[in-house]
Structure 1
Amino acid sequence: MKTIIKIVVLFTLVLVSSCEDVIDVNVPTANPRLVIEASLDWEKGTAGNNQTIKLSTSTPYFDTTVNNEVTGALVKVTNAITNDEYNFIDQNDGTYTITNFVPIINDSYVLEVIYNGETYTATETLKSVSEINRVEQSIEGGFDDEVLDVSIFWDDPAGQENYYLIKFKEQGDLLPILEDQSDEFSNGNEMDDFFEKDREDDDDQNEFNPGDVVDISLYGISERYYNYIRLLIEQYDSGGDPFSSNSAEIRGNCINTTNAQNYAFGYFRLSEFDTVNYIFE
């Protein structure tokens, strides 16, 4: 009887192993594209003269390559009103920097990047932002009335359309949380935004606790950038949701004037911003 059982088990193992086939999935790939990270941010109370633009190339999803920095490009920003030109210096690590940039609220600026014989351009206006009035913590303003949340408040200028980007980043976290807002229904009034970290049953340190430190920044942005970042945030937030629509490629404002088909990823943005550092009590 034992011999019969052994034979049956052995036969079953052979049958199962013979049904296992290695399936190679061909994942579509595309040629690398230039990625332009050009956010020229002017913090209130500073000169705003030090600015950095980062260039890299896109990589396939499963590629583990991390050395995709772009060097040897020519990077220039021109004030379209005054015609002042600002040439960014190649730091040979994918970053291009300048120390004499002059930010002027409501002036338009033109970015020009020349890379591999092709020219990329983008135009954007430097937007202002109100000061942050105050920061408050609570356990009642968020979605969970048992965890701490933090809110910022600011005055929206009356009689004009305004768009905002809010960045929350707890010190020690790898990535910030981004929020977008417009004054469509609150023009001329005090506006606010809050941030609450989700509670996890197996990790009570994931939520905010007394002593935690969070950096909060409020940016004034253009309507076009607002529409762009809003789509990106929506796609990021819906990641892993089986009922969400498929992610789509979202193009920024950088245009390849030499070869329109070889467009770049990224965005050229100019913003004034205010920032606060808050410690939970």
Structure 2
Amino acid sequence: MSLKNIFKIENKIKIVSLLGLSIIIFSCTEAIDLSVPTESPRLVIEASIGWEKGTLGNNQTIKLSLTTPYYDTAPNPVAGASVRVENITNGDIFIFEDQQDGRYTTSDFEPMINNTYNLEVIYNNETYTAEETLMPVPEIDRIEQSRELGSDPEELDLTIYFNDPANEVNFYYITFLEGEDLLPTREIMSDEFTNGNEMSLLYEEDEADAEDEILPGDMVDINLYGISEEYYDFLHRLIEQSDNAGDPFATVPTRLRGNYKNLENPDNYAFGYFRITEFVNEVYTFVE
């Protein structure tokens, strides 16, 4: 075979190879349509009535919206609903006024410890109800920082301390929000084995987030809530599913049901949880 013919064969091989490579590259950039399950919009009720210790607690807001498709990030607020909260213990009723943007507000709410409240939302001729009891919360007794109690002895951490009331069952929800973080660190506690004693909770940065080290001058916003046993159980399931996200060996998450009931159509329940809590707030600044 002549040298000229050899060059022709090699050139043909190169052309075929380049053509095959271009087909592969083109195939990799082809759009793939994923089928995402959809369902009819469902009502979402954000009814977290919080009474900060030492304040009147009369200004409260409840938000209503509808669920949206997975790829739709625009909010879908609900207007035109009827929203009211009744103190079942003494019969007082508080009407939440429609602000036409998904918010329903009142300025005359009266929180009362150990009283039971019923939320009623009427939307599209269906009535949603939920019931909760306003539980008390102790003061945060003190906050201490260290470099010794956390998993990394070189990193700053802090511990909050509070005294649990004796001779009663108590449940607590604690959030820590540091700096520019979008979501708080959430913890729950019960006094099942510590009734009547001093309770403590450690806060430190997630080991997996090495870039978000706590430094002197950083601030963390701390909220301690007194909550019902029912809300404690709901949060336990919620936090457990959140912490297991991405774990291939974790239990498959299930759809969490809050405490809302639809009186006319039980299958068309609302998302969310009606909670009513007393809480204390502290802002702590880390020092050297």
User: Which amino acid counterpart does residue 225 of structure 2 have in structure 1?
Assistant: Y
Q: Distance in 2 between matches of 1:52 and 1:93?
A: 12
After TM superposition, the score normalised by the length of structure 2 is 0.91
Report the count of equivalent residues.
Answer: 278
Counterparts of 1:96-115 in structure 2, within 5 Å, are 96-115=104-123
Which consecutive residues of structure 2, in runs of 5 or more, have no partner in the other structure?
Answer: 1-6
Specify the SS of the correspondent of 1:230. helix
TM-score, normalised to structure 1's length? 0.94
Report the Cα offset of residue 171 of structure 1: 3.0
CA displacement at 1:13 relative to structure 2: 2.6
What displacement does 1:40 show? Answer: 0.8
Offset of 1:202 from its aligned partner?
Answer: 6.7
Q: Structure 1 194/18 Cα, relative in aligned 2: closer, same or farther at 3 Å?
A: closer
Instruction: Check if 1:9 corresponds to 2:17.
Output: yes
Q: Give the conservation status (yes or no) of the 8 Å contact 2:48–2:276.
A: yes
SS of match in other structure, 1:265: coil
- In structure 2, relative to structure 1, the CA distance for the partners of 1:144 and 1:79 (3 Å cut) is same
Equivalences for residues 33-52 of structure 1 within 5 A:
33-52=42-61
Name the counterpart of 1:32: 41
Q: CA deviation at 1:25?
A: 2.6
Pairwise CA RMSD of aligned residues? 1.8
Query: Aligned residues: percent identity?
Result: 55
User: Higher mean Cα deviation, 55-64 or 144-153?
Assistant: 55-64
The match for 1:89 among 70, 73, 97 is: 97
Structure 1 distance, partners of 2:122, 2:112, is: 25
**How many angstroms does 1:91 deviate by?**
1.3
Q: Quote the Cα distance in structure 1 between the aligned partners of 2:86 and 2:132.
A: 11
SS at match of 1:128: coil
Give, in angstroms, the shift of residue 67 of structure 1: 2.7
Question: 2:224 is paired with a residue of what secondary structure?
Answer: strand
**Aligned mate of 2:170, from 162, 172, 181:** 162
CA offset digits 1:75-105 (Å, max 9, x no partner): 0000001111000011111111111111110
Gaps of 5+ in 1: none
Q: Which amino acid aligns with 1:158?
A: A
Q: Which amino acid aligns with 2:42?
A: R
The aligned amino acid for 1:7 is I
Q: Corresponding residue for 2:4?
A: none
Q: Return the letter of the residue paired with 1:196.
A: E
Alpha-carbon distance in structure 1 between the residues aligned to 2:154 and 2:26: 54
